Structure 1
């Protein structure tokens, strides 16, 4: 698979970003539509358990880790072009922070402002040895996970993503299948043990249930990442999941549009505070269909997603060509 890498882009990361966005939507829709806690022994209660066992805190973790990987790649590529990588990165996270501030007025739980602040904190670690970053990142992640301090988890996750970049973990993945399989198996065992224990504590009022979920979140997320990477080694599955790659390549645009679509659908159907857990799943399915089709169609003609194009232009203070060269030629 060679990391599904072409034109200096590691496409495995796009698949992973798209996958992370799928899970993030399932969770973010709940507060945006003011979904109420459901009663026990119903389909809604079962779906609630599913979300807190397999989704909540799992996909946000992946997204945070991938931001760290992108952080490393951005600075490294800027350095290779002999650009002032520090200035560019600071401008990049400033633009992201401002986008996040606007997004915050619609989605109070949004992540862009958090990532911008964490990116600023982690920036000095770019020049630190990878072994040190790995030790610091793992220590912080384990400590914060055990204590269930969820708001601070993006810091070690972004640092570990940066460290993954330093170790070039996503380079030439085809030659690392055995290592990926071993890692995935190990995370799978830890995940099963943790999830069984968490399930035994399942209750709306039981704080231990939520605490365990945060504690085992990184292991479950790591298992998901490993499994997807292994599946992408199978050509037929890679082709089937192609729309997911487009979805992830436009991660910023799709993340922001998720909020817009949730609020628009909520207003159109007038379901704020009235929709059930299970019904939010149907809304998410509609949003998936819209965004996956839109992403694939958009990238057929354009080089960047709409917000990615704006983000890149403001970062470099120069708007890059948006329309693909072959599209411009066909138009002539």
Structure 2
């Protein structure tokens, strides 16, 4: 699952509408600075989504089953499943707004540019479905066209209200998944419209407060879910726990980035986030190629699966750092940008 942020690459994000799958450019045409914390958040989401995707791609099994207790699977269900998909979805809406603002300064019909961008993402997602059925790119593109494009004409207060109501409805009436997309997309869009993301790189007591409240609210739900992981993981409470823990992960990371270890954490996660689309797609290729060697398909070998995830993430950190020292965009980010603007874009320049 940047995919799809910052006041920067407004005119052209690197990933999905610049979010879960890509990161915006350095700065927009008005000279805004890059919100580097968003790249780190996106990088964290890349790591989490990989942990979710490996069992799905390899068909290890869809979830816990009665009478079969696998500790690693238990903790993945509790701490990872439905925890990072909301992060990507929120970032997608946020990046959409950033991209639209930049496109409005570059093009006379910015929403046509965004429509082309979404269509390209949908094509890429349709192809990716052959390797990973149920992947995120295609539904992101569809909901982006159906929900985000029309919502871009609405006042920000209505976008915020629709986002809140849509998210609450999804939690109350469904078991999560793609039903969360409209509400989370709109919440991300509203966040950008209110300029909240521009304060992520600065000390902010609100971030600490949201972290504490999210963790406090998630704790009892997680305790309840762990009591019967098989039944409770497919419930409204588990969906709510996922959203709260996703909020805690994001705000916790933002706080961590301001500590002494922040630069080291940022050095690991930012490159992953800036090349999120490329890393998302290449991770699938690596899993498809290596999983049979490790005997993962149709197995319960979660230890080797976690080792595979760690290995892929390590390689992608090194690869992303190497690539970004030479180019501004990742390979798929560059290709996506060229299609978005329907013209060649220099991989090294500001195009």
For the criterion TM > 0.5, the same-fold answer is: yes
- Say whether the 8 Å CA contact 1:231–1:238 is kept in structure 2: no
Instruction: Name the one with the larger helix percent.
Output: 1
For 1:140 and 1:107, the matched residues in 2 are separated by 27
Instruction: Tell me the equivalent position of 2:157.
Output: 131
Report the Cα offset of residue 185 of structure 1: 1.1
Pairing 1:274-285 to 2, within 5 Å after superposition: 274=299, 276-285=301-310
- Say whether the 8 Å CA contact 1:4–1:11 is kept in structure 2: no
Give SS of 2:152's match: helix
Instruction: Tell me the equivalent position of 1:222.
Output: 247
Matched, 1:157 2:184: yes
Q: 1:175 to 1:245 in 2, by over 3 A?
A: closer
- Say whether the 8 Å CA contact 2:268–2:317 is kept in structure 1: yes
Report the Cα offset of residue 290 of structure 1: 1.1
Instruction: Tell me the equivalent position of 2:106.
Output: 81
- Say whether the 8 Å CA contact 1:148–1:215 is kept in structure 2: no
- Say whether the 8 Å CA contact 2:214–2:244 is kept in structure 1: yes
Q: Name stretches of at least 5 consecutive residues in structure 1 with no aligned partner.
A: 326-332
For 2:64 and 2:217, the matched residues in 1 are separated by 29
Number of aligned pairs? 319
- 1:196 pairs with one of 201, 223, 230: 223
Instruction: Tell me the equivalent position of 2:20.
Output: none
Report the Cα offset of residue 209 of structure 1: 3.1
TM-score (norm 2): 0.85
Q: 1:269 to 1:182 in 2, by over 3 A?
A: closer
C-alpha offsets along residues 258-300 of structure 1, whole Å, 9 cap, x if unaligned?
Answer: 1101001124445422451222101111111111111111101
TM-score (norm 1): 0.90
Instruction: Tell me the equivalent position of 1:313.
Output: 338
Q: Name stretches of at least 5 consecutive residues in structure 2 with no aligned partner.
A: 1-5, 9-25
- Bigger radius of gyration among the two: 1
Q: 1:98 to 1:41 in 2, by over 3 A?
A: same
Instruction: Tell me the equivalent position of 2:199.
Output: 172
Give SS of 2:82's match: coil
Q: Which has the higher contact order (CA 8 A, sep 6+)?
A: 1
- 1:110 pairs with one of 106, 130, 135: 135
For 2:202 and 2:322, the matched residues in 1 are separated by 33
